[in-house]
Structure 1
Amino acid sequence: MTSEGANGTGGVVYLVGCGPGDRGLVTERAVELVASADAILYDRLVPRSLLALAPPQCELVYVGKLPGRPTLPQEEINAELVARGRAGQRVVRLKGGDPFVFGRGGEEAEALAAAGVPFEVVPGVTAGIAAPAYAGIPVTHRAEASAVAFVTAHEDPRKGESALDWRALARFPGTLVFYMGVSRLAAVSERLRAEGRSPDEPCAVVADGTRATQRTVTGTLATIAERVVAAGLQPPAVLVVGAVCALRDRLAWAERRPLHGAVVVVTRARPQQSALARRLRALGAEVVEAPAIRIRPLPTPPELATIERFGLVCLTSPNGARLLVDGLLAQGRDARALARTQIAAIGPGTAAALAERGLRADIVAERFVAEGLVEALSDVEVADRDVLIARAAEARDTLVEALAARGARVTVAPLYETVHEPLPDYARDDLERATYITFTASSTVRSFLAGGGTVPQGARVVSIGPITTAALREAGIAVDVEASRHDIDGLVEALVADARARRAVA
């Protein structure tokens, strides 16, 4: 039943799988639905960065469960979905893994169908495949296992007896993957051995699969329960039984990435977060997106209408570079207006933003600070020249004063302003788990604190450069790592170097 509006109200419910935790495993369809939702009911393992894509007016409702402690009974979740669908809302039910693989999505779909509420199912990557893969364990392999069986270790307690055929499972000619098996690990391994499965068969338990906090314990069917207890592994986790587990030593990859185990908070403005977040995730980090500021474009400055008269245009941020070109286009003009103008960019990031809009910077400062651009312009003749500085409404006047002192006629064109962005509740919760928190500008420091953010105990503070470091110290926050190159590349390099150094002495 997928015909939207079939109930006469326009309401529809989407049962969406989000995978087991890695934001990169979320489907495009899931992202599309979140961005247009009226209400989102989400589980514990849903990537918080996905929730950040919801519209401002969207209602976020947590309905997740902790082991043994349901936040909201399943029957009430079903009723909530039905009520909201009948009320005409576009409801997105975000579920970890796949809705129809031990996710109780079938029960929710049955309730919606019985109530006549239109719904759509969006499959997700299930933990039984993804967690072993991230641990370097292929659940099937031509030489080791031509079949795989997925089993839940927790059946419906209302059933009179187990529906599992343990003898058949013990004799299954392939890989067994048990979901929700940590609390019953000893009982599962004992039952399989009692039914004839070899006690020497390789096993692995993967906890927090696909996330930066993923941990894997290996052993045999006879030893795995004891080893997992000794390692202190906690749910969510899957148990893998089979010869394929022996491949982990050669194929493990995710846990060997340089930022594996790191939870990194990114405080950049939301449009700039994505590129940094993708890079950090690719290096193995779990990224908490906690935007401290929002970029608000200002009306196009009148100076852009006569930009040809400026012999030099200075751009002090990627945001300014993009908005300058956008402002020209809004006036029906394009890059030809800058044909006789020198363009100076404050760093490689700003130069790259210009290149995205089809412009090449003539001068690029190596350091991503105003002083760096002052140095880069030291050999450029500016006396008696009209110079335009396109920047944020509030910024240091270092560049303005330095060029004016050399005889330039300086005009400042404010293109945007930064606005405080209060931290969402889900970001506050994730902050407490942070191992690193990054700041890319002094404005992010002020706005992060103004929005109620605090640096959690034990988290290491990473600064993009000396200006940001000064703002942090002024706020009473100690800086653990400062990038030697004052751009995003430098910040990532500094963070990775620190993580490797700490791992080496651990």
Structure 2
Amino acid sequence: MTKGKVSLVGAGPGDIGLLTIKGLKCLQRADVVVYDFHLNVQILDYIKGGAELIYAGKRGGRHDMTQDEINSVLVSKALEGKNVCRLKGGDPFVFGRGGEEAEVLTGEGIEFEVVPGISSAIAVPAYAGIPLTHRDYASSFVVVPGNEASTKKESSIDWAALARGNGTIVFLMAIKNIEDVSEKLIENGKAPDTPVAVIRWGTRSEQRTIVSTIRDIPEAIKSSEIRPPAVIVVGDVVNLRDKLNWFEKKPLFGQRILVTREHSEGFETLEELGAEVTVFPTIKVVPPESWKELDTAISKVSTYKWLVFTSASGVRFFFQRFFELDRDVRDLFGIKICAIGSKTAAEVGKYGLRVDLIPDSFRAEGLIKAFGGPDAFRGLKILLPRAAAAREVFPAKVRESGGEIDVPVTYRAIKPGSQGKRMKRFLREGKITMATFTSEATFTNFREMLGDEAGSLLKNVTIAAIGPVTARAIEKAGLKVDIMPKTATVDAMVEEIIRYSLQPSSRIH
């Protein structure tokens, strides 16, 4: 059997945007992913379906697997001919034991590659507004494993050299041994009032920073209840934080927003303003079980006066099938197009077509009004490609008014097969501050995926609904809707979330 390959991949310090493109590609093609605790678990959402996930643990000295066991898994899976991704927080060759794993793989004749990650030693201080080097403060820096302060009888750390140096010192894994670190630096000549910063969960929305001195930092950590993971920075560069603190000053810093659709498209503005967006799809848009209804409608498309699209998904699936049937956009000559919302209209525009009508209101009632009222439907023939489950208000009114309308199923919104175990944990631990629901189905499926606990888990979470239909479903479940835009679009929803979050009573920090 051909041996597989092992990729030792650094996932970065926490912000999912800091994962490298090459690291992402390795993750997406992996048959097996062996991952540690100290990484953003959202990265795992990029793993291809069917890949095997193996949790190696490595959390604050507690390991679900020993290093020898991890080595054994990497070897055995590669010998099975599988592509293995060894996913580590930060960089695999910076206190990540990646070198040891690479040695084992070399000894077994297994091909491997190293994909460097952005180390927390560099990224975390940067997100706290602390440059490690600065021409006025420090021209060098050193990264030191803080666990060596007390765990090794004969530490390889030259404390005297550290204390004498004028460069910046970065300690990783030092929280539990901070008293030893403080004592050793002072004993070896470091000024007790040297500035120190401690940054917990750096680069993430949970980031928390405290500033003190070498002498007082042990008590500051204790009183502030700072626990691992944290990065400790020692040196005069810490004084620059007052000027350069950029991340924690973002207006939505601390907000952790749940998106229940398939992707976060449209929510990017929230991330730019400092929020962390967590995607947990509760619907998946797929083709219809049968194309028969749509095929029949497309075969007589020239007989329609209006083509109405209610969503971007409807546009995509309609034209996908339209072209599969060897039709041409010129076959739509003379047919007027109506699109519900600017996003839907933009999707139509991708096919070189102009939208004739965009209703002011995005509910069925608004669509009726946009056409000029019920009387305007008399004699009209309308094609409305839509989802498998959709409201009947508009089609019913068209027929009542003497019009003709075909509503072929063009796509389905189904519930994904993923389980809600991880999301339950996020909600219990307070890692979600706001939940967004862009349709009644996203909320209904969310409740089904989380089970009986769904309601209680959302009690202390701000809830945003895209429109009144979605809001009614949420309120019927006994929950309060805090945010609802006047216009039922994602863009309007995002604007309303920003407005709400900037109110003094809603600020996280």
Question: Fold conserved (TM > 0.5)?
Answer: yes
Is residue 201 of structure 1 aligned with residue 199 of structure 2? no
Alpha-carbon separation, structure 1, partners of 2:237 and 2:367: 56
2:90 is aligned to: 97
Alpha-carbon separation, structure 1, partners of 2:369 and 2:54: 52
1:223 CA displacement = 2.5
Structure 2 segments unaligned to the other structure (5+ residues): none
Change (3 A) 1:20 1:329: same
1:207 CA displacement = 0.6
Bigger mean CA offset, 466-475 vs 445-454: 445-454
Is residue 394 of structure 1 aligned with residue 392 of structure 2? no
1:324 is aligned to: 318
> Any idea what the Cα deviations from partners look like across 1:314-359, whole Å, max 9, x if unmatched?
1111111111222222223343333322111111221222234433
Report the secondary structure of 1:261's partner residue. Answer: coil
Change (3 A) 1:388 1:109: same
Report the secondary structure of 1:141's partner residue. Answer: coil
Is residue 458 of structure 1 aligned with residue 460 of structure 2? yes
Of all paired residues, the percent bearing the same amino acid is 39
> Any idea what the Cα deviations from partners look like across 1:82-104, whole Å, max 9, x if unmatched?
11111111111111111111111
1:373 is aligned to: 367
> Any idea what the Cα deviations from partners look like across 1:434-458, whole Å, max 9, x if unmatched?
2111111001112112223525242
Q: Which amino acid aligns with 2:467?
A: G
Alpha-carbon separation, structure 2, partners of 1:505 and 1:114: 51
Alpha-carbon separation, structure 1, partners of 2:474 and 2:18: 35
Is residue 304 of structure 1 aligned with residue 298 of structure 2? yes
Change (3 A) 1:504 1:187: same
Is residue 408 of structure 1 aligned with residue 410 of structure 2? no
Change (3 A) 1:166 1:372: farther
> Any idea what the Cα deviations from partners look like across 1:249-296, whole Å, max 9, x if unmatched?
11111112222112222111x2xx131454433232223221111111
1:289 is aligned to: 279
Alpha-carbon separation, structure 2, partners of 1:319 and 1:138: 45
2:184 is aligned to: 191
2:502 is aligned to: 500
Alpha-carbon separation, structure 2, partners of 1:210 and 1:83: 35
Alpha-carbon separation, structure 2, partners of 1:427 and 1:38: 24
Alpha-carbon separation, structure 1, partners of 2:283 and 2:92: 35
Bigger mean CA offset, 427-436 vs 9-18: 427-436
User: Which residue of 229, 242, 245 corresponds with 1:236?
Assistant: 229
Change (3 A) 1:371 1:65: farther
List aligned pairs for 1:352-501, cutoff 5 A: 352-378=346-372, 381-424=376-419, 425-432=421-428, 433-452=431-450, 454-455=454-455, 456=457, 457-501=459-503
Q: Which amino acid aligns with 2:308?
A: C
1:409 CA displacement = 1.1
Q: Which amino acid aligns with 1:476?
A: G
Q: Which amino acid aligns with 1:396?
A: R
1:370 CA displacement = 2.7
Alpha-carbon separation, structure 2, partners of 1:166 and 1:384: 89
Report the secondary structure of 1:155's partner residue. Answer: helix
User: Which residue of 334, 343, 346 corresponds with 1:349?
Assistant: 343
1:156 CA displacement = 10
Which TM-score applies when normalising by structure 2? 0.92
Q: Which amino acid aligns with 1:416?
A: Y
Is residue 128 of structure 1 aligned with residue 118 of structure 2? no
1:4 is aligned to: none
Q: Which amino acid aligns with 1:494?
A: E
Is residue 17 of structure 1 aligned with residue 24 of structure 2? no
Which TM-score applies when normalising by structure 1? 0.92
Alpha-carbon separation, structure 2, partners of 1:464 and 1:184: 49
Report the secondary structure of 1:203's partner residue. Answer: strand
Change (3 A) 1:205 1:360: farther
Is residue 274 of structure 1 aligned with residue 264 of structure 2? yes
> Any idea what the Cα deviations from partners look like across 1:198-224, whole Å, max 9, x if unmatched?
222222111100001101111222233
**1:33–1:92 CA contact under 8 A, matched in 2:** yes
Is residue 152 of structure 1 aligned with residue 152 of structure 2? no
User: Which residue of 300, 315, 327 corresponds with 2:309?
Assistant: 315
Alpha-carbon separation, structure 1, partners of 2:243 and 2:354: 46
Alpha-carbon separation, structure 1, partners of 2:56 and 2:360: 49
Change (3 A) 1:486 1:146: same
2:46 is aligned to: 53
1:74 CA displacement = 1.4
Is residue 214 of structure 1 aligned with residue 207 of structure 2? yes
Is residue 142 of structure 1 aligned with residue 142 of structure 2? no
Bigger mean CA offset, 286-295 vs 437-446: 286-295
List aligned pairs for 1:108-119, cutoff 5 A: 108-119=101-112
1:68 is aligned to: 61
**2:149–2:181 CA contact under 8 A, matched in 1:** no
1:261 is aligned to: 254
Alpha-carbon separation, structure 1, partners of 2:366 and 2:301: 24
1:242 CA displacement = 1.5
Bigger mean CA offset, 95-104 vs 414-423: 414-423
1:165 CA displacement = 0.4
1:24 CA displacement = 0.5
Alpha-carbon separation, structure 2, partners of 1:276 and 1:14: 33
Change (3 A) 1:403 1:253: farther
**1:200–1:221 CA contact under 8 A, matched in 2:** yes
**1:14–1:120 CA contact under 8 A, matched in 2:** yes
1:173 is aligned to: 166
Change (3 A) 1:352 1:231: farther
Change (3 A) 1:505 1:445: closer
> Any idea what the Cα deviations from partners look like across 1:405-431, whole Å, max 9, x if unmatched?
333211112110111124434344323
CA RMSD of superposed structures (Å): 2.2
> Any idea what the Cα deviations from partners look like across 1:186-206, whole Å, max 9, x if unmatched?
321222122122222222111
1:377 CA displacement = 2.5
Change (3 A) 1:505 1:331: closer
Alpha-carbon separation, structure 2, partners of 1:422 and 1:448: 12
Report the number of matched residues: 496
Q: Which amino acid aligns with 2:121?
A: G
